[in-house]
Amino acid sequence: MFKRDVKPVGNLILQALREQGLETPLQQKRLVEAWPLVAGPLIARYTLNVSIYNQTLYVRLSNPALRADLSMRRTEFVQRLNAVVGEQVIVDVRFA
């Protein structure tokens, strides 16, 4: 008898995404979508735009006082957002 090489479907999908170069953009999208969850409803209400460029998350806020407060908590947000995705996707957060 022969032994079959059975792999979970999730692992096969991740392998296919990695081979096609789509794993990182997918993780970046998940991280951007996780911003309201990690930041909370109050901060999410003042968020105008969220994007990633060169492993930096750029968050555009409508409240300057909130921007100054969140700038002091940048490392906390980096750790929490990367934890949600499960890998290190970003290394910094900039508030504008």
Q: What is the pLDDT of residue 32?
A: 94
The Cα–Cα gap between 29 and 53 comes to 12
Instruction: Give Cα 43 to chain centroid, integer Å.
Output: 16
Residue 32 gets the label, from left (phi > 0), alpha (psi -120 to 50) or beta, of alpha
Structure tokens at 47: 């968020």
Chunked into runs of 10 residues, the chain (96 residues) has average pLDDT values of 78 76 81 94 94 95 93 94 92 94
Report the predicted TM-score, pTM, of the whole model to 2 decimal places. 0.79
Q: What is the pLDDT of residue 21?
A: 63
For CA atoms 59, 69, 31, 41, the dihedral sign is negative
